[in-house]
Amino acid sequence: MKICVLYGTETGNAEMLAEDIQSALEDDHDVTCRNLADTDPAALDGETFHVVVCSTYGDGDLPASAQPFADRLEDGAHDLSGVRFAIFGLGDAEYDETFTQGSEKLAAKFKARGATQIGARLTHDASGDDLPEDIALPWITDILANMSVEQEEG
């Protein structure tokens, strides 16, 4: 499968996780990894499965590198119908009111433009004991397994 891992990052933690996801998947798939800051919404296509990793910054805001992408998505009349994505959020539950709102807001923006979300949005808590990759890698492996089952059945 063609997979593009997209990340929205502020401190680099989401970028690191995106790279981990790329490494974990690239034996079986054709995987690229890119910063949302360098991504044009118009370039998202239906053939590629998009795996989005997005943190939260400030008061539940999108991280800096996702902001220009979100603005472009808002401004242009982009039609993302046919685009499939999964999204993983990073946050810090110390700030419980705004925990992982960055990824939540970004998912809503994708869907508002007609994109289809595959699987549930899972999140990692920076103040918790787990490592982000220990949650994200089984998450994406499951999603991909389900997708291939559906493909075979379909």
Partner 1 sequence: MAGKIAIVGAGPSGCYVAQAFLKADPGLEVDLIDALPVPFGLVRYGVAADHQGTKGVMRQFARIFERQGARFFGNVHIGRDVTLKALREAYDAVVLAAGLCEDRRLSIPGGDLPGVHGAAALTRALHEHPQAGALPALGPHPLILGNGNVAIDLLRLLCKTSEELNGTDLGPGPSAWLAGNAFEAITIVGRSPAARAKFDPVMIRELGKLGNVSIKVEGAGRSEEPEEQKRLEALAAIDGHGSGPLKVTFRFELRPLSVEGKDRVAGLRVEGPNGEETVRASSVLTAIGFDSNGDLDRATLLDEAGEREAGKLADGLFAAGWFRRGPRGTIPDSRTEAQATAAAILEEMAPDPARAGPAIFHKLENVVDYAGWQRIDAAELARSTPERCRQKLPSTGELLRAATQQDIDQ
Residues found near partner 1 in the complex (CB under 8 A): 10-13, 16, 57-59, 64, 92-95, 97-98, 125-127, 131
Q: Compare residues 58 and 82 and give the one whose CB is closer to partner 1.
A: 58
Distance between CA 8 and CA 150 in Å, rounded? 29
CB 83 within 8 Å of CB 45: yes
CB-based contact 44:81 (threshold 8 Å) = no
Is the Cβ of residue 27 or residue 94 nearer to partner 1 in the bound state? Answer: 94
Q: Are 37 and 65 in contact (CB under 8 A)?
A: yes
Nearer to partner 1, 49 or 69 (CB): 69
Q: How far is the CB of 21 from partner 1 (least distance, A)?
A: 15
State the minimum distance, in angstroms, from the CB of residue 122 to partner 1.
17
| CB neighbours of residue 91 within 10 Å | 24
Amino acid at 118: I
Least distance in angstroms from the C-beta of 101 to partner 1 = 11
- Residue 48 or 100 having the CB closest to partner 1: 100
